[in-house]
Amino acid sequence: MTVGRGKGTMDAILCTDARPLIPAWADGELSEAQAAPLRAHLLGCRDCRGSMQDLRALHRWFDAGAVDGSSLVPPGFAARVARRAFAGDRGERAVSAPFELERERDGRRTLDFVLWSTAAAALLVVALSVALRLRDLPSSERLRADSRTPQSTEEILNKLEELDAREAGLALPQADAAHEAATKPVVDPASGAARR
């Protein structure tokens, strides 16, 4: 491809025509028909040769920075990229996919741990509450009202009275029997006379 400017003939050209062609000529973008008159002009024009020298000086800065890109390619790069392409992995970044997977895996592990811990804690609470309830519930025998320990003074007094009354009820027949025995006249079996 050539830049479509210049007369394209071997006619002598002026500096005003030559100067705009110099960069394209230096870059190898002119056809021979365009380049020939420019070369002829440059041979006789020191100013235009100066412009050419400026471009060459500029190129020396860039020449130093030219590198062989082969040294920049990591080993196995092409095979890795081809595998990713055919696996349908967009691979936005080299480490993104495995990193995301690892994070997802870590998150799932954490969730599992929390769920299992919660379940174990719930089971423990249920077991403890059941055990406590079984320990505190009175048995059917212990559910008798009299087995209940009196709490207030009035209850205690009532209880004492009740106990007294019960004891009194039990003692009365014995006392009567003793009194009767003591007061009953003794009958002499031989004489048949009664005596006290």
Partner 1 sequence: MGALTMSAAPQEDLSLVREALAGSQLSFQLLVERYAPRMFALVRHYTRSAVECEDIVQDTFLKAYSRLASFQQQSSFYTWLCRIAINTALDTLKRAGRSPVQAVEDPELAGAGGSEEIGRGIGSVPAPDARMEQEEVAQIAQEVLEELPEIFRTVLVLREFESQSYQAIADALGISIGTVESRLFRARARFRDKLLELHPEFGE
Among 33, 55, 114, 143, binds partner 1 (CB under 8 A): 55
3-state secondary structure of 6: coil
Taking CB under 8 A as the binding criterion, the range among 37-45, 71-79, 151-159, 180-188 that sits at the site for partner 1 is 71-79
SS3 of 79-95: HHHHHHHHCCCCCCCCC
Taking CB under 8 A as the binding criterion, the range among 31-39, 72-80, 112-120, 140-148 that sits at the site for partner 1 is 72-80
Cα-to-chain-centroid distance, residue 151: 56
Q: Kindly write out the interface string for residues 153-192 of this chain, putting x where it contacts partner 1 by CB under 8 A and - elsewhere.
A: ----------------------------------------
Q: What is the dihedral of CA 21, 22, 26, 28, to 10 degrees?
A: 10
The β-bridge partners of 194 are 187
Return the number of the residue (69 or 192) whose C-beta is nearest partner 1.
69
Q: State the Cα angle at 119 between 113 and 123, rounded to 5°.
A: 145
Structure tokens at 45: 């024009």
Q: Which residues bind partner 1 (CB under 8 A)?
A: 1, 3, 5, 16, 19-20, 22-24, 27, 29, 51, 54-62, 64-70, 72-74, 77-86, 89-94
